[in-house]
Amino acid sequence: MNDNRLETAVSPYLRLHADNPVDWREWGPEAFAEARERDVPVLVSVGYATCHWCHVMARESFSDPAIGELLRRDFVAVKVDREERPDVDASLMASASAFTQQLGWPLTAFTTPEGRVFFAGTYYPPSPVGQVGSFRQVLAAVLDAWEERRHEVDANAGAIATAIRQGAEADAAARGGGTGDGVDPRLPSVDAIRAVTAQLVSAEDTTYGGFGGAPKFPSAPLLEFLADVGADGDEVARALLDRSLQAIRSTELTDADGGVFRYATKRDWSVPHYERMLYDNAGLLAVAGAEQARGIADFLRDTLRRPDGAFVAAQDSESTIDGRRVEGEWYRLPLAERGRFDPPPLDDQVLTGWNGLAVRGLAVAGARHGDPEMVALARDAADAVLAAHVRDGHVVVRSSTSHGTSSAPPTVEDVGLLAEGLLELALVTGEVGYAETARSLVDDGLAGSFGVDPVLQAAGTATGEQPQTALRSGTVALASAAATLAALTGDDALRTAAASLVADRARTGTDRLLGHADALGVALSVQRPSREVVVVSADADDPMRAAARDARRPGTVIATVTPEQARAWAGAGFSLFDGRDGSAPAAYVCHDHVCALPARSDEELVDQLR
């Protein structure tokens, strides 16, 4: 029998498993209390709605009544959506790394009733394949260890939990550092940061573009680091970025409708893994050229956008064609023929942080390429998320779907990415309300006001945010937003906080770039001289606005406002705008709020920006 406990879940991934013969539970204290009462291990299966191999394991194993009966009798089975619960996923991934370096999803973890992992892996097939045992064999081995070598199980689980706790405590101690003068001694030097480009040059695939061999990922944070260093004057980094973007744009990794797939399975960027994630596409928007950015924006608008303007998380790799569930076949059809079949389903979660990333990407690209529709898409997404997920300037919801609002707590990813996106939108549109909300979010983020999951807290395995290679870090985004606010308000404490947030991540990144590239970009920015550019003009087509857009580089903040908007910014406490409300168009180039005489034409502005 199946109690169908997931039928009313908010998560689309959990609902996909509602009809399994497995007696799934959602993550929470109740599931672990039952495991303690029955003295059985807990199977935690982590995935997400558009994960192909999650679908495969569901069809092969979790749809098998015999496996369902085995799990019901000897385990407590828990399903976790890693998009809904990144805190749980990060903790389990950290523990799983003790057993395998081939981490990914589905993640299959076995824990004690206290929530401590004692064995873990990823996808397990229904029959043995090479050195990989079948899922039934794994279950049998886990049960044997649980029943016959319990002292070893408990000792191993305790050792892993201790290592995770010590690592989290060291991270927390490092985040508390800083000198109070805006320059954190742990920050790698500008020269050390720029020298990282040489690592990327040596890792470049000079035949097919990108870095390394197969599989090939778009790695938006890494490309944005190249953009930052290129804008800082490194022509080698700029050229490497252009070649990498060209490889992504001109190969199978980019679909005919402009959307970018999660990765390619071959070195030449062929045979994509066909799922399409909001975060990959949103991240690329911040660095893409005009044509590529327009294609990505079209994909977001036409495929991932909800009627209220918010963006859903992803589109699946699989679709149903001629009654068969197949991977990738719909994407291989010409665009004109796709309409004859149902498209791959969407992961319809609206995630606060991922929407913040999309708002940022659309606002940056819209300003850089003079595309007002991108800015409008950014505004609509921001307004939708603010209406549904933010209350009185605080993020109160991480995830929602048409089925309701998730009880999952907001994370630093939600606060940091949304704050950074709102600030970019405010600077592009001149609408101070977005900046005021961002300021409140940054205050929350710097205060560290995030709840800890009770199961992870009791187990001592809460890790905090972990470095990621595909998605901009919420901690890094929070630092970036704090640095931007420092430029807008003159509050040097915010710049000091930004430096402290990224110092250790950036220092690690000089040797291990993957997972830390975004921190290096912010570390470069906070060490460059602060430069603020304000264009005050009621004319949306004023040439000075375009001239200012071309001045983006690390350490520079650019705002375009009307005189009325300038007064609103000043009235809201953003001191950079004090006295900048004259009726005649003017542009101000300032260094730490000390400004040159106002420029009255784009030629004068360009001269001051040199």
CA distance 567 to 565: 5
Stretch 22-27: mean pLDDT: 97
Is pLDDT of 243 > 70?
yes
Count the alpha carbons within 13 Å of 437 in the hemisphere toward its beta carbon.
Answer: 28
- Reported as a single tens digit per residue, the pLDDT across 489-506 is 999 999 999 999 999 999
Residue pLDDT, tens place only, 146-161: 999 999 999 999 999 9
Secondary structure (3-state) at 583: coil
Q: What is the CA radius of gyration of the chain?
A: 25
Q: Is the pLDDT of residue 177 over 60?
A: no
25-49 tens-digit pLDDT: 999 999 999 999 999 999 999 999 9
Q: Is 277 helix (H, G, I), strand (E, B) or coil?
A: strand
In three-state secondary structure terms, 111 is strand
Exposed e or buried b for every residue in 399-418, given b needs 16+ CB within 10 A? Answer: bbbebeebebbbbbbbbbbb
**What single DSSP character describes residue 301?**
I
pTM of the predicted model as reported, rounded to 2 decimal places: 0.96
Task: Check residue 1 and give its pLDDT.
Answer: 45
Q: How confident is the model at residue 178 (pLDDT cuts 50, 70, 90)?
A: very low
Counted residue by residue, the chain has a size of 610
CB 474 within 8 A of CB 448: no
Query: Where does 177-334 have alpha helices with state H?
Result: 190-203, 220-231, 235-250, 278-285, 290-299, 329-332
Per-chain mean pLDDT for the chain? 94
Residue 4, pLDDT > 80, answer no
Token reading at 48? 């997400």
Region 512-531 average pLDDT: 96
Angular region, 398: left φ>0, alpha ψ -120 to 50, beta rest: alpha
Identify which of 52, 83, 49, 105 has the alpha carbon closest to the alpha carbon of residue 271: 52
Paired tokens of 588? 């101000």
- Report d(CA 218, CA 222) in Å as an integer: 9
pLDDT, average across residues 289-306:
98
Tokens of 391: 């209350």
Q: How wide is the angle at C-alpha 447 spanned by C-alphas 593 and 350, nearest 5°? A: 95
- Tell me the mean pLDDT in the region 107-124: 96
What is residue 583's predicted lDDT score, i.e. its pLDDT?
A: 82
Q: What is the mean pLDDT of residues 54-70?
A: 97
Q: What angle do CA 474, 105, 472 make, to 5 degrees?
A: 20
- pLDDT, residue 476, reads 97
Task: Please give the average per-residue pLDDT across 2-30, as a whole number.
Answer: 92
Which pLDDT tens digit goes with each residue over 408-433? 999 999 999 999 999 999 999 999 99
Omega before residue 218 within 30° of 0, cis:
no
**Six token digits for residue 122:** 């990823």
Average pLDDT over residues 231-254: 97
Residue 468 is predicted with a pLDDT of: 87
pLDDT of residue 578: 95
Per-residue pLDDT, 76:
98
pLDDT at 176: 55
Angstrom CA distances, 463 to 505, 513, 597, stand at 15, 20, 50
